[in-house]
Each structure stands twice: as C-alpha cells, then as structure tokens.
Chain A
Amino acid sequence: MNAFIAIVRRDLLLAMRHRAEAANPLLFFVIVVALVPLGLNPRRETLELIAPGVFWIGALLATLLSLERMFRSDFDDGSLELMLISPQPLPLIVLAKILAHWLVTGLPLVLAAPPIALLLGLPTSSLAVLLTTLVLGTPTLSAVGAIGVALTVGLRRGGMLLSLLVLPLYIPVLIFAASAVSAADGLPVTGQLYLLGALAVLSFTLAPLAAAAALRISVS
C-alpha cells in the first residue's frame, strides 16, 4: 500500500514540475470544443443537439493525447524496469499509475466542464448529469488506455497505433455518457449512469492486470 501511495505522489509531483505539459490536454480539449461551433453553425438548437457528443469526443481525444505520458518517461529513464523487478505486485503499481493519470488529466476535465458546457449552450439542468458522467467515465478512459500504452510503450512512433488500439475500446463509454447527457433534459438517466459505473468498476479490476501483463511483454 505504501508503494501505491508513493507512486501516486511521485507522479503527481512530476506533473506539478511540468505544469505546462500537464495542462496541454485540457487546452486541447477547450480548443477542440471551441472549433466545433466554428465548423458547424452556432445556432442554439444545433449546438444543443450535438453538444453532448462534441463534449465527450473532445474528452476522449484529450485523454488519448495524454495517455503516452503514463509510462513513456518512466520507460525512457529506466524506472519502469525497476518497477517491473520490484517485489511489489505489478498490477498494484499500474493501478497507482492509472489513478495518478486520472488525477492529472481526468480531474481537470471535470473541473473545467461547467464553463465549457456554457460555451456549448448545454442547459444548466443537465450540468449535474454531465459532471456525473465525467466522474464515472474518465477513470475508465485512463484504465483502458493504460493497456494500450503498455502495449506500445517500447515503440518510438506509437502514437497513431495507440489511437487505433484504444479508440474502439472507448466506444461504450462514449455511447453511454453522451446519451445520458442528451437525455438529461427530463428523461431518466439512471440506467446509463449505472452502466458507466459498472464499466468503471470492471475496467479498474481488469485493466491493471492486462496492462501489467502487457508491460511484461513489451519491456523485455
């Protein structure tokens, strides 16, 4: 458990030292969301219709961009190999890395959501649902993404491949979260939220195991 906390703390500290780098995904997210009304038309009805999808696709892409950081620098400086041979169970270490990644990229998305929702003209009544989907959905993105990064960490140009591997696996989260947000105006959304929660629990149980196995394969 100590190792778990130590790794989370270390990763947060590293992120704090490179604040500009850590803020990039969030800026990317804001820019993507701001571009969509420019590319389409900014009429209120159109925006309201597409806002949940735009919001979540932006969140998906922002997470994707930041995924590489999860293991890349550790791989480059050799600390990843030390983690592999350490007596601590590797899935636990991976879980700590996932949690740290979420704290650095997922949590800022949640915090930045209300003003961006205003930008897209989402009705304030659905804001609570949007925040809930983000809280339940973004951890799944980090956890599933960890598998993809672990598989591609040894590659010099893994970026495009990473998106090919990870994006199909993100589809369920996108579907449930976006539909919950669009249904939030009066329709019941508990079903979607339960499913998002189930996905989060499932991915947090299985993804560390898979990612640990993937690390053992690709770092050898």
Chain B
Amino acid sequence: MWAFLHRFASPPHFYRRAGAIAPWLGWICLGLMAAGLYGGLVVAPPDYQQGESYRIIFVHVPSAWMSMFVYVVMAGASAIALIWRIKLAEVIAIESAPVGASFTFLALVTGSLWGKPMWGTYWVWDARLTSELILLFLYFGVMGLYAAIEDRRTAGRAAGLFAIVGVVNIPIIHYSVEWWHTLHQGPTVTKLSAPSIHVSMLVPLLLMAVSFKLFYVTVLLHRARCGVLERGRNAGWVRSLLARTEPE
C-alpha cells in the first residue's frame, strides 16, 4: 500500500495515470449529472409547500456539501504535504482551492436565488449562509497567499499551513455564527422545515451529489496535471515527455 502510494505520488507516474483516468471519470460524471437533472427537473413531483422552486435544491445542496468537503480535502492534503513533504499532496491542496471556492460561490448564489421566493429576500444573515460566506473568504485567503509569494514551494507550504489553521477555526466560527444567529434571529424569517425527503427527490439529489464529487475529482486531476508539469519544468521526465510529443 505504502509503496503503491509512493509510486502513485511520483510526478511522472501521476501525470500519466491522471491523464488516463480523468476522461473516464468525466464521462461517468456527465452521465450521472444528466440522470440527476432528469430525475430532479422532470420526474420529481413539485413540493407541496414550496412548489417548483425547491428544484434549486438539486444544485444548491451538492454545492454546499462540496464546499466543505473540498476544504477538508485541501487541509488534509496540506497536512500530508507539510509532514511527509510529498510534492503531489501540495499540488493537490493548492489546485483544490479554486474549485472549492467555485462550489462555495455556487452554494451562495443558488442559496440566495432560492431564498428570494422562500424568504422574500436574497440575503438573510442566516447562520449557514454567513458561515458559507466566511468559508469563501478563507478560500480567498488560501489563494491570495499562494499567489502573493513568489517561490512556488514556499507559497504552497504557506498556503497549506493557512488552510490547516482555517480548518481548526471553521467549527469555532460556525458555532459562534450559529449562536449569534439565534440571538439576533428576527421573527420575519420563516425557515421551512424539510421533514423526511421523499425518495423521488432523494435519488436525484444523491445522483447530483455523486456527480459533483466526480466533477471535483476530474477537474482536480486536470489541474494537478498542470501543476505537476509547471513545478517539474526542469525535471528529466518533463523533458522526455515533451520531446516525445514534439510535432517536428
């Protein structure tokens, strides 16, 4: 297992393997997404309380899940990179940040588009919305720090350390925001409680969640391939790779 991991983490091996796997994952992701969209937009019946507007759930909830999942992956990869100095983990951590930020952004936008018909306003200082916004700031912090430091190795390690600091803080921030929210909660906002979700809605939701996860992995593999190439610009394997595919 350990030997396998080490072999997989070697840049040339990863570059080849990722290039082979990514298209497959991409197609599976597309298929699942199509099935999920069909199930969610066409098959699932309208909600008896929210009518058709609840259909935003099929993109909103997977985005929100992914926004947190990606952050945890990023922090985990950063920890691995800092402790065992595995370059690939560093690349994965850094290349995850923009994807995670995209998911967080989507969760916020779809959340407020859902909030307008349900709550009557695009934005409420709801605990979950607020902590999602702060999560976006943390993503921007990681990306900004990485972009600001010139040396790529130093930048990767500094951004990784900040990601870990963030992951320690996320629960604290989340609970403080929740607590603050219960103190300030006005009576105007009526949160519609969703009891048990019906199977016809649950299945497309899960399909979408899985396809979002696969989407993340696919994009991450693509991005990590670029990152590995960029960092290994002077390595022998990059030279031979490019020499082999040279058109002339």
Contacts and interface: CB of A to CB of B under 8 A. Distances in A.
Q: Find out whether A and B make contact in their complex, taking CB atoms under 8 A apart as touching.
A: yes
B172 interface: yes
11 contacts: A161-B141, A168-B134, A168-B138, A168-B166, A169-B173, A171-B173, A172-B169, A175-B179, A176-B176, A210-B164, A210-B165
Contact of B161 (A154, A157, A210): A210
B199 interface: no
Interface stretch (A13-21, A117-125, A212-220): A212-220
Given A164-B140, A164-B144, A151 B161 contact: yes
Contacts, number: 71
B98 to A, nearest CB: 16
A206 interface: yes
Chain B binding surface SS class? helix
Contact of A213 (B144, B148, B161): B161
- Give the interface size bracket for A toward B: 20 to 34
Interface of B: 82, 134, 137-138, 140-141, 144-145, 148-149, 154, 157-158, 161-162, 164-166, 168-169, 172-173, 176-177, 179-180, 183
A158 interface: yes
Interface string A160-176: 01001101110110011
B141 A164 contact: yes
Interface in A16-56: none
Given A168-B137, A171-B177, A175-B177, A161 B144 contact: yes
Contacts of A132: none
A199 interface: yes
Contact of B173 (A157, A165, A168): A168
Contacts of B161: 151, 210, 213-214, 217
A171 B134 contact: yes
A152 interface: yes
Contacts of B164: 210
A49 B41 CA distance: 46
A108 B148 CA distance: 33
B99 to A, nearest CB: 19
Contacts of A158: 148
Contacts of B138: 168
A217 B165 CA distance: 14
B149 A154 contact: yes
